[in-house]
């Protein structure tokens, strides 16, 4: 295929840019010490903002987004990974374990933490978010007439369009996690015993904070803007039996997969 002059120029610029990024990374590896990265790959509405704020307070690590944009599919982004090379950072993203993401995790020695939540509760919480916080998310942008629909209709839209992503996330991480070192956490455990969950994260990364420091960090995160909506389990009881069955039916595409992390037995 013959490329136009503009296409050749664009390709050349991309190649030059990538070489520059790789050179920057090589220089950082030569002249600076690599920092630690606590990376949480989380389902939306699973308490990840709250957990990151707690970990930042407990460790002194800097919250740092390792993707390109919050509203994109939240893949890892090489320039931000390079920028964070010598920093101690804690990051949370809704990142699926695609081959490019796993390759970057290997390149940057990232040991992922996978944070999940009961799918029924998450569907209700995500609907609340779309209603009151923002109509735009990395998973789903709702139309202007979203709030004109009955609550059941709004839940239906989230179930039909967002819940397939939840199922893929859990299934893909179950496969990827079997082949690499990662730590699974649940929203339900975070709200029931946050100190224990934070302690597990710190131990996973060879870090330590005493119980008083962890409790203080949890209190700071609760008092701040952590998007910790209701902070309770069991909200999925609002869903009808038919709606719950539609979510469960999505799991049929992954026979043999364990969806207990999503509360789908």
* Confidence band for 13, pLDDT divided at 50, 70 and 90: very low
The answer on pLDDT for 140 being more than 70 is yes
* Confidence band for 12, pLDDT divided at 50, 70 and 90: very low
* Confidence band for 227, pLDDT divided at 50, 70 and 90: low
pTM of the model: 0.88
Helix (H, G, I), strand (E, B) or coil at 114: strand
Q: What's the mean pLDDT in 144-153? A: 97
CA 97/CA 171 separation, integer angstroms: 10
pLDDT at 55: 98
* Polymer length of the chain: 265
pLDDT at 5: 54
201: nearest Cα among 51, 25, 27, 33: 51
113: nearest Cα among 216, 186, 50: 186
CA 247/CA 133 separation, integer angstroms: 24
- Cα-Cα-Cα-Cα torsion 55, 57, 58, 62, nearest 10 degrees, comes to 60
**143 vs 25 pLDDT, higher one:** 143
**33 vs 121 pLDDT, higher one:** 121
The answer on pLDDT for 9 being more than 50 is no
For residue range 84-122, list pLDDT tens digits in order: 999 999 999 999 999 999 999 999 999 999 999 999 999
57: nearest Cα among 188, 218, 201: 218
The strand pairing partners of 129, in sequence order, are none
């Amino acid at each position: 295929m013959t490329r136009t002059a503009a296409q050749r120029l664009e390709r050349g610029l991309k190649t030059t840019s990538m070489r520059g990024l790789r050179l920057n990374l090589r220089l950082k590896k030569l002249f600076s010490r690599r920092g630690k990265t606590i990376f949480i790959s989380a389902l939306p509405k699973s308490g990840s903002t709250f957990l990151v704020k707690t970990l930042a307070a407990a460790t002194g690590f800097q919250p740092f987004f390792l993707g390109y944009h919050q509203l994109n599919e939240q893949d890892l982004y090489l320039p931000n990974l390079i920028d964070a090379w010598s920093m101690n950072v804690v990051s949370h993203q809704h990142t699926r374990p695609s081959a490019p993401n796993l390759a970057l995790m290997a390149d940057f020695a990232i040991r992922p933490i996978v944070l999940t939540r009961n799918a029924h509760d998450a569907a209700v919480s995500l609907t609340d978010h779309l209603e009151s916080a923002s109509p735009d998310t990395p998973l789903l942008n709702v139309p202007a007439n979203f709030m004109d629909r009955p609550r059941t209709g709004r839940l239906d839209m989230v179930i039909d369009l967002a819940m397939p992503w939840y199922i893929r996330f859990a299934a893909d991480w179950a496969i990827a996690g079997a082949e690499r070192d990662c730590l699974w956490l649940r929203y339900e455990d975070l709200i029931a015993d946050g100190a224990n969950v934070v302690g597990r994260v710190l131990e996973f990364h060879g870090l330590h904070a005493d119980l008083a420091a962890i409790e203080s960090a949890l209190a700071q995160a609760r008092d701040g803007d952590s998007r910790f909506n209701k902070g309770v389990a069991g909200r999925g009881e609002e869903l009808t039996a038919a709606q719950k069955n539609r979510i469960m039916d999505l799991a049929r595409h992954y026979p043999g997969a364990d969806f207990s992390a999503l509360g789908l037995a």
